[in-house]
Amino acid sequence: MNIQLSHKEYMKDSNGDIVTIVCRLQGFWDDNTKVYDETWEWNPPYDKRLKELPKEGKQRTGFTEEQMKSLLEADDIMNFWDKSIRESHDYSNHYMQCSRKVMEQPAEPIKIKSL
């Protein structure tokens, strides 16, 4: 079963805080046929908001210990977001619908070899 959750968009308020995350759940059959693609919005709690997303990969080099501390705090918040999204009612509903669609994948025909 190939089901993928992603963050499609981050919306900010007038203070520059990320207040809404547009989540996307996609489901694919083994041959990469997309059978489910839905989005919904999720709002992080007030005390778990960020101004910007943390830097990734090579962008993390050359920082001071204090700068790395703020990056790691942002990582923790991103992990909290992902966990909370997966525990949300919306995610559960979309995941159930998606998994049903993915499981409808046609079975490959049985090949019988003659002796």
Contact 27/100 with Cβ under 8 angstroms?
no
The reported pLDDT for the residue numbered 38 is 97
Give the pLDDT mean for 25-43. Answer: 96
Distance of CA 110 to the CA centre of its chain: 36
The reported pLDDT for the residue numbered 12 is 95
Contact 1/95 with Cβ under 8 angstroms?
no
The string of pLDDT tens digits covering residues 41-88 is 999 999 999 998 887 777 777 778 888 888 899 999 999 999 999 999
* pLDDT over threshold 90, residue 9: yes
- At 31, is the secondary structure helix, strand, or coil? coil
Q: Which helix (H) or strand (E) holds 96?
A: helix 89-103
The alpha carbon dihedral of 26, 28, 34, 35 has a sign of negative
Q: How many CA atoms lie within 13 A of 7 on its CB side?
A: 18
Give the pLDDT mean for 12-38. Answer: 95
Q: Name the percent of the chain lying above pLDDT 90.
A: 69
Q: Which of 11-25, 27-41, 58-72, 77-91 has the lowest mean pLDDT?
A: 58-72
The reported pLDDT for the residue numbered 64 is 84
The reported pLDDT for the residue numbered 89 is 97
